[in-house]
Amino acid sequence: MSDQQHYQQYGGQPYDGQQFDDRQYQQQAYGDQAYGEQQAYGEQSFAEPQHPQQYDGQQFAGQQRGFDEPQQQYGGGAPEAAPQYGRSSRMSESSLRVVWVYPDLLSTYGDRGNALVVERRAQQRGLGVQRIDVRSDQSVPTSGDIYLIGGGEDRPQRLAAERLRNDGGLVRAAENGAIIFSVCAGFQILGHEFINDLGEREAGLGLLDVWTTRGEGARCVGDVLAEVNPQLSLPQLTGFENHQGITHLGEGVKPLATVQVGRGNGTGDGTEGAWRDTVFGTYLHGPVMARNPAVADLLIKLALDVNALPPADTTWYDALRTERIASAARPA
């Protein structure tokens, strides 16, 4: 038997061009619960669009225009129509588009958890979610609402930076005001540069005014507790860090938080992560959203452009937070 036949017999099917992404799926458009039955949201009034517009594949920029224009007051739509939060223009029309960037390269530390928690927290508020997992040989769509980019090993990090620079999609999305949340290796990629697996300086995307050097001392590994910048109105952060890089912050960003336990950016000044406008970076794993669901809620609020969301159960998150915060605060 020839090698080829041999090979075929052992299950080699002809390549059918199918993408790997079996996790890419579209959630049902909206929850079953009618929106009017829920309590009102902060100052934002809840209204439904008369003509829910379907996503037409246009770039985000077109829709983004409406963001700063006077808000149209929608009348009560048909009962079946998809409910819409307050000023909806930031959000793609029919559902929240959560783009998970490069799970094939940057998903080493349970980073899928951040996508799952954002999805879950949005669904608990009756929002439809469309999660788009973008593999590194696909182009990053520019029309997402929330972009998540996770942690990874040194070599995949270099490959991810190369491909994101060449693709340009994430940079265009950022220029359009997209919400971007990055963790660890992803955080470093959003900065100006980092040290790659070959020991060379590798250009990042420059979306955050930070740059990363390689720490000479021991790797930063362990639990972290940090107080968040008060402007963000978030409770204390808990997470797990594991990195060699030292990230320096420039004038164009603020520290996301100040560490109480742990190393954070590793610069010795107590800063953890960085942030400007709607672009965030952190070193916290855990995953960070699982330990801090308020972070997921913040991203959803930014996407909807509302100040508050209806409450959603946090019993288990709270129990976990209490335990992890106590454990980290306990002297070793």
Binding residues vs another protein (CB under 8 A): 1, 3, 6-7, 10-16, 18, 20, 103-105, 107-113, 116-117, 120, 135-137, 153-156, 159, 221-222, 240, 242, 285-287, 290, 316-317, 319-320, 323
Q: Which residue lies nearer to another protein by CB, 5 or 231? A: 5
List the catalytic residue out of 6, 51, 184, 243.
184
Residues 128, 28 contacting (CB under 8 angstroms):
yes
Q: CA triplet 174, 176, 180: central angle to 5 degrees?
A: 35
Concerning whether 243 is annotated as a catalytic residue, the answer is no
Q: Which residue lies nearer to another protein by CB, 6 or 36? A: 6
As measured in angstroms, the least distance from the Cβ of 128 to another protein is 16
Report which residue type is found at 5.
Q
As measured in angstroms, the least distance from the Cβ of 116 to another protein is 5
Nearby residues of 317 by Cβ (< 8 Å), 6 or more positions away: 290, 291, 293
Start-to-end CA span in the chain (Å) = 64
Nearby residues of 113 by Cβ (< 8 Å), 6 or more positions away: 286, 287, 289, 290
As measured in angstroms, the least distance from the Cβ of 17 to another protein is 8
Nearby residues of 218 by Cβ (< 8 Å), 6 or more positions away: none
Q: Which residue lies nearer to another protein by CB, 135 or 165? A: 135
As measured in angstroms, the least distance from the Cβ of 281 to another protein is 17
Concerning whether 6 is annotated as a catalytic residue, the answer is no
Per the document, the length of the chain is 332
- The secondary structure of 8-20, three-state, reads HHCCCCCCCCCCC
Q: Which residue lies nearer to another protein by CB, 58 or 322? A: 322
Residues serving a catalytic function are 184, 285
